[in-house]
Amino acid sequence: MKKLVAALLAMSMASLVSLAQAAAAPGQAAPEFSLVDINGKMQKLSDYRGKYVVLEWFNSECPFVQKHYESGNMQSLQARYTQKGVVWLGVNSTSPRHSNFRDPVSSQAILKDWKSAPTAFVLDPDGKVGKQYGARTTPHMYVIDPKGTLVYVGGIDDKPSTSQRDIPTAKNLVAVALAESLGGKPVGTPSAMPYGCSVKYDN
């Protein structure tokens, strides 16, 4: 298992290099996008101006994503902050050419099985939005403030492993960023290295 985790991290690090220059950074305006969600509704980032928005890059076949869903950690975050009025958008940029691709019907079933409750879940099959943001891993997390500015970009927490046992002792960087920003404070850690599986772009 340790060798597998090391290999996955190595692949994600390789993707960091290729997307480094394209990455959207804290303090910048979040790139606008329009994507159809898995229920057939158009989701435009601009429609949520005035609200906090979390973007969560997702791939159900990634063991790092499975860590946070099979433990209930991601669902807990979604529920905690959507109840506070935060918009939570799941994004899957997996290419349809890749074996990890899941169509809208399959995606609905996966989210239902995991009891996931984002505001909406969108597919980005050509990877355009993922590349605009510089999304490198699953998960890769982004927090956008009501003005449309990125206030956090990076990993979900500070323990890059696939083990659920690490969750209780990890510092959840997304939760900290949201708590600080919602409380009117500057985000103390606006960026952190993302970890997980590489996003399965078409090229």
Residue 190 to residue 27: CA distance in whole angstroms: 9
What local confidence, expressed as pLDDT, does residue 23 receive? 77
What local confidence, expressed as pLDDT, does residue 11 receive? 55
Q: Where are the beta strands (DSSP E) in the chain?
A: 34-36, 42-44, 53-57, 87-92, 120-123, 137-138, 141-144, 150-154, 197-198
Mean residue pLDDT of the chain comes to 92
Residue range 53-107, pLDDT digits in tens: 999 999 999 999 999 999 999 999 999 999 999 999 999 999 999 999 999 999 9
pLDDT beyond 80 at 8: no
Assessment of whether the complete model's pTM goes beyond 0.75: yes
What local confidence, expressed as pLDDT, does residue 29 receive? 97
Query: Per mean pLDDT, which range of 16-20, 66-70, 112-116 is the poorest?
Result: 16-20
What local confidence, expressed as pLDDT, does residue 203 receive? 77
* pLDDT band (50, 70, 90) for residue 21: very low
Written as six digits, the tokens of 132 are 């605009």
Average pLDDT of span 112-127: 97
What local confidence, expressed as pLDDT, does residue 3 receive? 52
- Taking Cα atoms as reference points, which of 151, 87, 145, 144 lies closest to residue 118? 87
Query: Any idea which fold 20-198 has?
Result: Glutaredoxin (3.40.30)
Residue 22 to residue 41: CA distance in whole angstroms: 28
Q: Count the residues in the chain.
A: 203
Angle of helix 73-82 relative to helix 173-182, nearest 10 degrees, comes to 10
Residue 81 to residue 87: CA distance in whole angstroms: 8
φ and ψ of 195, to 5 deg: -140, 155
Which sequence spans correspond to the domains of the chain? 20-198
Residue range 127-140, pLDDT digits in tens: 999 999 999 999 99
Q: Are 89 and 122 in contact (CB under 8 A)?
A: yes
What's the Cα-to-Cα distance from 137 to each of 30, 43, 63, 71, 130, rounded to whole Å?
18, 22, 12, 19, 10
pLDDT beyond 80 at 5: no
